[in-house]
Structure 1
């Protein structure tokens, strides 16, 4: 069976010390990917670097901070980035294709299907898809965490076997190894817990925007789709092959035991919530620990303007998000029946089913303590 992998490369891995794009680094990573490609592996590349490649070219002395400045830099830099990649892959006799995606491309089932078909055809033709956020039109790009979450969404969309998120340190440590000589690398993670997030620091580079926390979140999204994830360092020839072989310099996150059905993947990670439902402690226990549906009796209030079939977030009374689900109620209907018994709710409003969110259309996103 052909192996399919997604590799994510961040801005800091591609930039020079002055902030521009390093052609040498692009050629190095293209060579690492080409080596796997020639072994028959289907390779998808999710890359950052458009802003880093373009901001000096456009005339900015330092990486811009304003959204419109970043978008302008990305408009220039994206062309430079793709040209560099295409030339680097051509040295290995490999064609590369550009795919620009935004969050709505994942949220829309029809658009995600078309993206999936395009990816499948490119891989069938042995072309390397190079994927980036469409920076010039998507404000949300800068909330993706330097494309970390984007790479996880792509891995799930493409039904990849593994995701490799390359960073400037050798995986996840018990503390920052650059500051604490006693820091120990975590070799393997089976379940992502709140404790894991607590040891993740902030952004590690002035060039990139993503820190270890965003990479852990990306691993969690990938694990939800059954995709095993590697977070680590690839700086020497053969490092990526070693990572793919299980001996890489980084942390491995299990994937196969955490796979969700395709519909629940969409609900939990790809959809865009249209509202929010606040629930009481009894509903929290029912949703998180008893595998029950959410009923009107457990609802405290509804926020936003949503309709039956829309995805909503569900939170406890303190506002902590518990998960996402598909609502069977309009927001106004839920407001009218909040706290009532199921029998009374059906007398008050006309709905297709009494459950506010059925357990079959519910995904817990709360990280374990």
Structure 2
């Protein structure tokens, strides 16, 4: 039975250094994906390249820096990019479908579920969903920053069997092999260490916005979602099939042995916390070390305005973030019952359940290593 595979291709693989779409490269990658499709795999493509493809058409001599200029370039380039993909996939009898996403599409659970249902239907109809960030409307505050992270979020959303991030380097090294003669490629990574993040370095080419660091950040997201990851080079026919078979030119990342459920992954990585709940030492121990739910007795206070069903951060009395969870109480109810026993709470307020945050809707901060943790 075929696998569900997410492949991410960056700007530098699809365009020239000067900018503009290289249709020969697009056809090459489409053929590689079509081979997987013909082998019975479900294939999703996460692509960059809209801005790089479009900025020359608008007369910019170099890749634009201002947000509105990037958005204008993307508006032109996205059409060119999809036209090239449609043409290339059609040669193999495959229908390509465009999906544009921004971070709020993931942080709002209903929108994420809608995107998931759309993707599922496209795969059912044997189409190849082509996913890109909606650069024409995204701003710096809501952008993914690099489509590597987008590909990892998509892979988790659709419960992919593997994520393959294609780059111009044949894997992750202990340094930049272009400047460090003794750098050694790492064939397999089981755990993401701080040392590995130091190895990753900074940005790559002038056309794209990513580097090996963003690949490591994506690996963290994918691994916590239980999705194994490959980062490497696909430059010759058959390279992508070899990567899927386990013999690719690159580095393989193991999936986490303790991967999060889809709901917990959304809580931990995608949700937008609406407030804070401050807890005492006993509640901290119960949440982090005893697998317990958060009860009113362990709460000191709350901050912000939130309602039942929304995600909140939980912090200790020193302000250290302990994790996130779905609250079953509104902010005013928290204020009314903070520090009270369960019996007293039931006498004072009407709530659906006594737990403020149930352990099944709680994710500890040790699992929520956002990309900036290693800055």
Q: Do they fold alike, i.e. is TM over 0.5?
A: yes
* Total equivalences in the alignment: 368
* Structure 1 range deviating more: 199-208 or 290-299: 290-299
The Cα of 1:364 is off from its aligned counterpart by 2.6
Task: Pick which of 162-171 and 218-227 moved more.
Answer: 218-227
Structure 1 distance, partners of 2:150, 2:266, is 14
**SS in structure 1 opposite 2:104?**
helix
Instruction: For 2:301 and 2:52, locate their aligned partners in 1 and report how far apart those are by CA, in whole Å.
Output: 44
1:290-369 aligned within 5 A: 290-296=290-296, 299=299, 301-315=301-315, 321-335=321-335, 340-342=339-341, 346=345, 351-366=351-366
Structure 1 residue 116: Cα displacement: 2.5
Aligned: 1:146 with 2:142: no
User: Does the 8 Å CA contact 2:201/2:212 hold for their aligned counterparts?
Assistant: yes
Q: What is aligned with 2:34?
A: 34
Q: Secondary structure at the match of 2:129?
A: strand
Q: Give the deviation of 1:213 after TM superposition.
A: 3.0
1:125 maps to: 125
**Higher mean C-alpha displacement, 263-272 vs 349-358:** 349-358
How big is the shift at 1:351? Answer: 4.0
Aligned equivalent of 1:93: 93
* CA–CA distance in structure 2, aligned partners of residues 282 and 56 of structure 1: 60
CA distance in 1 between counterparts of 2:317 and 2:188 reads 35
Aligned partners of 1:200 and 1:301: how far apart in 2?
A: 41
C-alpha distance in 2, partners of 1:236/1:326? Answer: 47
CA distance in 2, matches of 1:82, 1:40: 23
Length-normalised TM-score, structure 1: 0.88
Aligned residue runs from structure 1 range 247-258, under 5 A: 247-255=247-255, 257-258=257-258
Structure 2 match to 1:276: 276
CA distance in 1, matches of 2:210, 2:315: 26
Q: How many angstroms apart in 2 are the aligned matches of 1:185 and 1:319?
A: 40
Aligned to 1:104: 104
Instruction: Sort the Cα spacing of 1:40 and 1:361 in 2 relative to 1 into closer, same or farther, 3 A.
Output: same
Instruction: Give the C-alpha shift of residue 253 in structure 1.
Output: 1.7
| TM-score normalised by the chain length of structure 2 | 0.87
CA RMSD in angstroms comes to 2.8
Report the counterpart of residue 208 of structure 1 in structure 2.
208
Partner of 2:166: 166
Q: Deviation at 1:235?
A: 2.1
Question: Which digits, 9 at most, give the CA deviation of each residue in 1:100-156, with x for residues without a partner?
Answer: 122233334443333233222322332211111122122268631321221122112
Which residue of structure 2 aligns with residue 243 of structure 1? Answer: 243
For the residues of structure 1 that align with 2:128 and 2:185, how far apart are their CA atoms?
32
Contact 1:175 1:184 (C-alpha < 8 Å) held by counterparts: yes
The offset of 1:183, in angstroms, is 2.2
Task: Name 2:220's counterpart in structure 1.
Answer: 220
Contact 1:288–1:364 (8 Å) recurs in 2? yes
**Runs of 4+ more than 6 Å apart:** none
Q: Which moved more, 1:204-213 or 1:272-281?
A: 272-281
Mapped partners of 2:33, 2:308: distance in 1:
45
In the alignment, is the contact (CA less than 8 A) between 1:345 and 1:354 conserved in 2?
no
Q: Could you tell me which runs of 5 or more consecutive residues in structure 2 were left unpaired when the two chains were aligned.
A: none
Aligned mates of 1:266, 1:176 — CA distance in 2: 34
**Cα distance, 1:164 vs structure 2:** 0.6
